[in-house]
């Protein structure tokens, strides 16, 4: 690899010059789904508590909002994570072509 430097015995510096945009997008999409599940669960819990305090009619609305949040939030956050990862990786590839990428030390 071009630009390898040895900092200590058994270590060498490598440079990440390019990343696969689709690979980064998939990983970010999965992270988004996990975060969306957490947000959805928190929103569902808050909806159920708020709906329960509002009475019988509010409990039904709270239940519907809670179930909707558990379904909608992971999808929404996953799609946004995928798109954000794709755009971020494309931007990284352009910038790393100009400045040379990120250096890491491997053993």
**Residue 12 domain-assigned (yes or no):** no
| 22-37: pLDDT as tens digits | 999 999 999 999 999 9
Q: What is the per-residue pLDDT across 34-64, written as a single tens digit (0 to 9) for each?
A: 999 999 999 888 887 777 776 666 677 777 7
The residue range of the domain holding 89 is: 19-106
Q: Note the pLDDT of residue 69.
A: 87
1 within a domain of the structure (yes/no): no
Looking at residue 10, its pLDDT comes to 73
Classify the C-alpha dihedral 71-75-32-68 as positive or negative: negative
Domain membership of residue 54 (yes or no) is: yes
2 domain-assigned? no
Q: What total of structural domains would you count in the chain?
A: 1
User: Could you tell me the pLDDT band of residue 79, with boundaries at 50, 70 and 90?
Assistant: very high
Is 10 among the domain residues? no
Domain membership of residue 85 (yes or no) is: yes
In a domain, 14, yes or no: no
Mean of the pLDDT values across residues 90-95? 96
């Amino acid at each position: 690899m071009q630009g390898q430097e040895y900092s200590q015995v058994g270590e060498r510096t490598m440079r990440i010059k390019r990343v696969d945009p689709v690979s980064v997008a998939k990983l970010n999409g999965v992270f988004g789904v996990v975060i969306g599940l957490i947000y959805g669960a928190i929103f569902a819990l808050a909806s159920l508590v708020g709906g329960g305090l509002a009475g019988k009619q509010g409990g039904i609305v709270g239940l519907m909002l809670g179930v909707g949040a558990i379904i909608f939030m992971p999808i929404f956050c996953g799609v946004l994570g995928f798109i954000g990862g794709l755009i971020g990786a494309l931007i990284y590839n352009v910038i790393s072509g100009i400045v040379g990428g990120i250096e890491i030390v491997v053993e």
